[in-house]
Every structure is written in structure tokens, then in C-alpha cells.
Amino acid sequence: MHATLHRLFLSHPQAVDESYGEHFLFALGFAARLLGAGLAALVHAIIPCLFETTASRMIREMHDRIASRAHALPPAELQPAALRDARLR
């Protein structure tokens, strides 16, 4: 039971050198930004002169943040198997 809870809630945050709370806030922020980008794209689809570059800019910014975090991760061969397997999905 304890191992399952650890795997579900702590393995990934530890693999990216964060506490559960730090990872929660980072992921929640990303979810909010993705929602905002999606809403901007929806408005742009209806009224093309609005939010012409907003969604693409937000996605580029989020990509840059994720890519910079990926450099902090150890090489794949040093990561736990569960984390490597999760990235393949």
C-alpha cells in the first residue's frame, strides 16, 4: 500500500527534483495556461482578428519552460524504469 501511494504521488515529482507541492503548483499553473491558450484559440476561431498569436505564443513559452526543466533530469538510463515507461506512453 505504502509503495503504491509513493509511486502514485511521489515518484515522478522526486524524479524531477520537486516536492509533491512544488510539482502540484507547477502542473496546476500549466493546466491554467493550457486552458487560457485553448480559450484564446476558441475565440480566435470565431473572431479571427482577436488573439491572432496568443495561443501559439503561450504554447511556445510553455515548451521553453518544459525544455529547460528537462535538462535538469538525469539521462534516461539513470531514471527509474517506471518514469522511463511513462514517458513512452
Domain boundaries, the chain: 37-73
Residue 48: the pLDDT is 97
Write out the chain's pLDDT in tens, 89 residues: 788 888 888 998 888 888 999 999 999 999 999 999 999 999 999 999 999 999 999 999 999 998 887 766 666 545 555 555 555 54
Residue 16: the pLDDT is 85
Cα–Cα distance, 26 to 12 (Å, whole number):
13
The sign one gets for the Cα dihedral 36, 34, 10, 1 is positive
The pTM for the full model equals: 0.69
Q: Which amino acid is at 18?
A: E
3-class state of residue 52 by DSSP: coil
Residue 85: the pLDDT is 57
